[in-house]
């Protein structure tokens, strides 16, 4: 196999060699042409005219079945097997015994290797195993582009364009080059001549790995249960006799030590895709991580490959923690993750940094190589890897249009969001990091309508100290230069789990112990945070809002804590804020029906539309299946918002909306038409929202909504869009 030859020639020779040494009439190699078509690429024993002609879909026939199931299939009577497909051009009907093994690498399907014979000889366990090892080497060679060349219908892996469909984590478009958070190890030597030497190399590397893990375990921060658990799982695998034995057997069959490790890793990845149990999947991930460590030791390739961060890096990773993402900071053009979730900490940070993010991009870490050109379409949740020119130029057009629009927005930056009827809507921005504050002047925002304080807590290994927080909040106020910043107290629980907080085993965390519920039950951290805010204000005005208030008494109790801290700080001689505004986030429908007294007591109310919508429609914001099912412009939801506007109007309570929907121009327009006068959104949305608001008459929008409601529309979106097309 290692001999130099042209691609097709090499494939032919391999089939010949296998058929010969196994004493079987047929050996064929089928390789994947695209995501679901297999093509006969070389054969010994089947009709030669069928090569590059016979094709089948993954799942079709016995060959397709091996590819789909990623498992060997061995039978003595192929024509009687369910799913057998007769392909006349190959002359196949004469063969009885069939053994097919998948050609796969790291869970990635590449093809199928098949042997057949006329009699019903059956293939032994040893033969199955040996063929699997050969398939592994074939996979390795396919990967290295060994079969590209004259006559071969394939081009090398990792040179083709790939489009991956994931999920939007953060909107926006980005173009750049791949930067792998954990660069993959490249095995360049799949076969070896000296099994004894390879076995020794493997054993030494495993011994070193075991020592490393033991050492890491002694350094685990006391009480860090999660880290200790992961390392224990590593230790268990590293000491597993079965794991080592399987790799030694592969070496005996001619694989190099690193290829043997990778073969184990491949089958773990193939299993990973089929295991429904989350716990087991996690363990398989552990095994995967461990194999990577071992590969690095054997090949000497560290995580630092010497590659340089490109000028326009798009980070590609299986998953990434918020602190690591913050380390990269604004250098990144985009982020693509294989896992992750909309509410994960990394997603929150990406959102705060306004970096386009696509999550659930299956297989991106296997497909992408460092430096590959990549396009990230955060709006659609799509990634184009190594795009063809036509795709790239269409994407460039999109970016140019966005840049043009941004320029247009810059020209209205200092103008008010005043509609043609004279109504002014106040546009504020959402923030959560010090790094967000420079956007305050550049976006034209009038203030920070929501400062998510949990980011400082989520990105650290332990609870931040009061002094640290006070310094940070003070810097935020300095940067805001007198503009209002509404600090939301710690909003944790549900999807936001602090690394150092004991995870709660709750049947339904979104409805569980979260936000103000935690703050009131365990007030220590909230009180510390309130003290930090008072000290940070140091005589300046202060706005504080409490998250997830579901009933009146939660607000009064939280407010009492704040007032007590004010007294305490005064007694300690600290300067009190010049003015103090205390608000509540309306994120559960119940609060909209609170007694009038609540509306009188609250200085302001901010609608947390992300949560409010999930509870209004009973549709989990984290659940892909349902989260887009109900339109924000649904008549029931708009009517509900209108009622909140009226209740606040009755008591003169300031009202704003700070969920993600406020930053979507059509939604923002409808909210304004329903009477909302303050909207808070990510900075990049202020331009588009303002631009649209300035071009319409809100009374007319209102009339369109009323008309749609009267005729019984479910959502007003269609009518509003039609009207907009006629107007703008
Ligand atoms: C909301 O729920 O709309 C909100 C702004 O809070 P978060 O998204 O942080 O839960
Ligand atoms: Mg919320």
Ligand closest to CA 452: 1
**The ligand 1 atom nearest the CA atom of 659:** 3
* Ligand 1 atom at minimal distance to the Cα of residue 452: 9
CA dist 148 and 676 (Å) reads 62
Mutate to test the pocket of ligand 1, among 450, 488, 659 (most ligand atoms within 8 A of CB): 659
Residue 182 is predicted with a pLDDT of 82
Index of the ligand 1 atom closest to the CA of residue 494: 10
Ligand 2 mean position, distance from CA 179 (Å): 32
Q: Which ligand has the minimum distance to the alpha carbon of residue 613?
A: 1
Flag whether pLDDT at 697 surpasses 70: yes
Looking at the chain, the whole-number percentage of residues with pLDDT higher than 70 is 92
Residue 444 near residue 426, CB atoms below 8 Å: no
Q: Which of 27, 285, 345, 670 is catalytic?
A: 345
Q: What is the pLDDT confidence band of residue 93, given thresholds at 50, 70 and 90? A: low
State the chain's mean pLDDT as an integer: 88
- Which of the ligands is closest to the CA of residue 347? 1
Angle between the N-to-C axes of helices 195-218 and 241-252, in degrees from 0 to 180, rounded to the nearest 10 = 160
Task: Enter the DSSP assignment of 426.
Answer: E
610 lines ligand 1 (CB under 6 A): yes
Given this model, what pLDDT does residue 719 score?
A: 97
CA distance 71 to 274: 12
pLDDT tier, 112 (very low <50, low <70, confident <90, very high otherwise): very high
User: Hey, what are 236's tokens?
Assistant: 């268990």
Confidence band (pLDDT; 50, 70, 90) for 354?
confident
Convert 67-88 to b/e letters by CB count within 10 Å (16 or more is b): bbebebbbbbebeeeeebeebe
Among 350, 429, 452, the mutation site with the greatest number of ligand 1 atoms within 8 A of its Cβ is 452
* Number of continuous H segments (helices) and E segments (strands) in the chain: 26, 23
- Of 605, 658, 685, the residue with max ligand 1 atoms within 8 A of its CB, to mutate for a pocket test, comes to 658
Q: Can you name the residues that pair with 418 across neighbouring β-strands?
A: 424
In the predicted structure, residue 152 carries a pLDDT above the cut 50: no
Tell me which long-range contacts 301-307 makes (C-beta under 8 A, separation of at least 24).
301/183, 301/185, 301/186, 303/182, 303/183, 305/183, 305/370, 307/183, 307/370, 307/371
Residues, CB within 5 angstroms of ligand 2 (ion): 587, 608, 611
**Pairing mode, strands 484-488 and 447-452:** parallel
> Which residue has its alpha carbon closest to ligand 1 atom 8?
610
Please compute the mean of the pLDDT values over residues 59-79 and round it to a whole number.
Answer: 92
Question: Ligand 2 centroid vs 547 CA: distance in angstroms?
Answer: 7
For residue 727, CA distances in Å to 408, 691, 693, 719, 724 come to 19, 14, 12, 12, 5
Residue 155 pLDDT > 50: no
For residue 545, how far is its CA from the centre of ligand 2 (angstroms)? Answer: 12
Give the pLDDT confidence score for residue 555 in this predicted structure. Answer: 98
The tokens describing 494, both together, are 């549900």
Atom of ligand 1 nearest to the CA of 608: 3
Stretch among 268-277, 318-327, 394-403, 624-633 having the lowest mean pLDDT: 268-277
CA nearest 546: which of 571, 582, 514?
A: 582
26-34/424-431 β-pairing: unpaired
Q: How confident is the model at residue 579 (pLDDT cuts 50, 70, 90)?
A: very high
Determine whether the shortest distance from the Cβ of 454 to ligand 1 is under 6 A.
no
The predicted pLDDT at position 34 comes to: 76
Length of the chain: 728
- The alpha carbon of 585 and the centre of ligand 2 are apart by a number of angstroms equal to 8
Least confident of 129-138, 139-148, 330-339, 534-543: 139-148
Q: Which ligand is nearest to the CA of 548?
A: 2
345: annotated active-site residue: yes
CA distance 92 to 46: 7
Q: Which atom of ligand 1 is nearest to the CA of 660?
A: 3
Phi, psi of 109 (to 5 degrees): -75, 130
> Is the Cβ atom of 347 under 6 angstroms away from ligand 1?
no
Residue 711 Cα to chain centre, angstroms:
41
SS (H, E, C) 181-241: CCCCCCCCCCECCCHHHHHHHHHHHHHHHHHHHHHHHHCCCCCCHHHHHHHHHHHHHHCCH
Give the pair of three-digit tokens for residue 421. 């009827």
The answer to whether 322 touches 345, Cβ cutoff 8 Å, is: yes
What residues form DSSP beta bridges with 488? 452, 545
Q: Assess whether the C-beta atom of 491 lies below 6 angstroms from ligand 1.
A: yes
pLDDT recorded at residue 344: 67
Tokens of 423: 């109504």
pLDDT tens for each residue of 464-495: 999 999 999 999 999 999 999 999 999 988 76
Which ligand 1 atom is nearest residue 454's CA? 9
Mutate to test the pocket of ligand 1, among 457, 492, 611 (most ligand atoms within 8 A of CB): 611
Average pLDDT estimate for 623-644: 93
Among 143, 147, 66, which residue's Cα sits nearest to residue 112? 66
pLDDT of residue 153: 37
Residues 56 and 37: their CA atoms lie apart, in Å, by 6
Instruction: Please name the residue whose Cα sits nearest to atom 6 of ligand 1.
Output: 608
Question: Which residues, in sequence order, are CB contacts of 681 under 8 Å at separation 6+?
Answer: 427, 428, 429, 430, 449, 658, 660, 662, 663, 668, 689
Between the CA of 609 and the centroid of ligand 1 the distance, in Å, is: 7
Largest CA distance in the chain: 96
Counting ligands in written order, which one lies closest to the CA of residue 458?
1
Ligand 2 geometric centre to CA of 687 (Å): 24
Q: Which alpha helices (DSSP H) does 275-411 contain, by range?
A: 278-299, 322-328, 345-352, 364-367, 389-411
How far does residue 423's CA lie from ligand 2's centre (Å)? 28
Q: Which of 93-102, 230-239, 331-340, 565-574 has the highest mean pLDDT?
A: 565-574
What pLDDT band is residue 150 in, cutting at 50, 70 and 90? very low
The predicted pLDDT at position 151 comes to 35
CB 701 within 8 A of CB 682: no
Q: What is the pLDDT of residue 724?
A: 96
Q: Is 658 in the pocket of ligand 1 (CB under 6 A)?
A: yes
- pLDDT category, 278, cuts 50, 70, 90? low
Task: Give nearest CA residue, ligand 1 atom 1.
Answer: 608
Among the listed residues 591, 592, 609, 604, the one whose alpha carbon sits nearest the alpha carbon of residue 559? 604
Q: Which residues contact 180 (CB under 8 A, 6 or more apart)?
A: 316, 317, 365, 368, 369, 370
Ligand 1 site, residue 609, Cβ cutoff 6 A: yes
d(CA 522, CA 539): 28
End-to-end CA distance of the chain: 66
pLDDT, tens digit, 9 for 90 and up, residues 196-239:
999 999 999 999 989 988 888 887 766 666 667 777 878 888 88
Cβ of 659 less than 6 Å from ligand 1? yes
CA distances from 77 to 70, 177, 689 (A): 21, 51, 67
pLDDT band of residue 436 (cuts 50, 70, 90) is confident
pLDDT band at 725 (very low <50, low <70, confident <90, very high): very high
* Residue among 509, 547, 613, 620 to mutate when testing ligand 1 (max atoms within 8 A of CB): 547
Which has more pLDDT, 654 or 249? 654
Where do runs of H (alpha helix) occur along 620-664? 635-651
């Amino acid at each position: 196999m290692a001999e130099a030859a042209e691609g097709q020639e090499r494939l032919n020779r391999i089939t010949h060699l296998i058929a010969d040494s196994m004493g079987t009439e047929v050996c064929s190699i089928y390789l994947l042409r695209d995501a679901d078509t297999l093509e006969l690429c070389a054969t010994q024993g089947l009709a030669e005219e069928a090569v590059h002609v016979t094709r089948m879909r993954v799942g079709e026939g016995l060959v397709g079945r091996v590819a789909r199931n990623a498992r060997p299939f061995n039978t003595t009577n192929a024509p009687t097997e369910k799913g057998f497909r007769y392909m006349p051009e190959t002359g196949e009907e004469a063969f009885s015994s069939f053994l097919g093994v998948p050609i796969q690498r790291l869970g990635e399907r590449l093809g199928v290797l098949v042997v057949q014979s006329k009699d019903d000889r059956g293939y032994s366990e040893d033969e199955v195993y040996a063929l699997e090892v050969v398939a592994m080497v074939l996979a390795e060679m396919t990967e290295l582009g060994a079969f590209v060349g004259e006559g071969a219908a394939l081009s090398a892996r990792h040179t083709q364009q790939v489009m991956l469909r994931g999920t939007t984590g953060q909107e926006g478009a980005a173009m750049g080059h791949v930067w792998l958070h954990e660069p993959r190890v490249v095995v360049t030597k799949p076969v070896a001549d000296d099994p004894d030497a390879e076995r020794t190399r493997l054993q030494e590397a495993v011994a070193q790995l075991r020592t490393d893990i033991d050492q890491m375990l002694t350094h685990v921060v006391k009480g860090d249960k999660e880290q200790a658990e992961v390392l224990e799982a590593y230790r268990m695998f590293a000491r597993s006799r079965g794991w080592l034995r399987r790799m030694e057997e592969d070496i005996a069959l001619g694989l190099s030590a690193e290829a043997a490790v990778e073969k184990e890793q491949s089958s773990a990845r193939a299993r990973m895709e089929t295991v429904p149990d989350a716990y087991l999947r996690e363990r398989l991930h552990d095994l995967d991580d461990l194999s990577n460590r071992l590969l690095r030791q054997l090949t000497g390739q560290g995580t630092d490959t010497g590659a340089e961060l490109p000028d326009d890096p798009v980070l590609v990773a299986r998953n990434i923690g918020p602190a690591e993402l913050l380390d990269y900071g604004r250098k990144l053009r985009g982020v693509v993750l294989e896992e992750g979730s909309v509410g994960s900490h990394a997603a929150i940070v990406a959102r705060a940094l306004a970096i386009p993010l696509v999550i659930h991009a299956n297989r991106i870490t296997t497909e992408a190589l460092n430096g590959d050109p990549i396009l990230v379409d955060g709006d659609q949740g799509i990634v184009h890897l190594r795009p063809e020119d036509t795709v790239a130029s269409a994407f460039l057009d999109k970016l140019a249009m966005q840049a043009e629009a941004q320029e247009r927005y810059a020209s209205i930056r200092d103008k008010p969001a005043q509609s043609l009827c004279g109504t002014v809507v106040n546009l504020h921005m959402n923030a959560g990091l010090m790094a967000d504050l420079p956007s305050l002047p550049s976006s034209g925002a009038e203030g920070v309508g929501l400062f998510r304080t949990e980011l400082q807590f989520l990105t650290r290994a332990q609870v931040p100290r009061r002094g640290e927080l006070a310094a940070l909040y003070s810097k935020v106020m300095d940067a805001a230069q007198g503009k209002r910043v509404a600090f939301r107290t710690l909003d944790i629980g549900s999807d936001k789990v602090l690394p150092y907080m004991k995870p709660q085993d709750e049947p339904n965390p979104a409805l569980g112990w979260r936000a103000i519920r935690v703050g009131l039950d365990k007030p220590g951290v909230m009180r510390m945070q309130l003290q930090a805010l008072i000290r940070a204000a140091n005589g300046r005005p202060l706005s504080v809002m409490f998250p997830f208030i579901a009933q009146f008494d939660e607000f009064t109790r939280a407010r009492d804590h704040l007032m007590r801290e004010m007294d305490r700080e005064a007694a300690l001689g600290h300067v009190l804020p010049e003015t103090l505004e205390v608000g509540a986030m309306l994120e559960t429908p119940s609060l909209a029906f609170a007694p009038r007294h609540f509306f009188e007591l609250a200085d302001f109310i901010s609608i947390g539309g992300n949560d409010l919508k999930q509870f209004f429609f009973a549709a989990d914001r984290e659940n892909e299946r349902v989260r887009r099912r109900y339109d924000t412009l649904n008549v029931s939801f708009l009517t509900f918002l209108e009622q909140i506007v009226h209740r606040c109007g009755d008591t003169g309570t300031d009202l704003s909306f700070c969920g993600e929907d406020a930053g979507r121009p059509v939604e923002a327009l409808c909210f304004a038409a329903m009477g909302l006068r303050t909207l808070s959104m990510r900075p990049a949305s202020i331009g588009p929202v303002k631009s649209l608001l300035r071009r319409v008459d809100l009374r007319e929008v209102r009339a369109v909504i009323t008309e749609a409601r009267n005729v019984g529309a479910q959502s007003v979106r269609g009518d509003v869009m039609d009207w907009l097309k006629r107007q703008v």
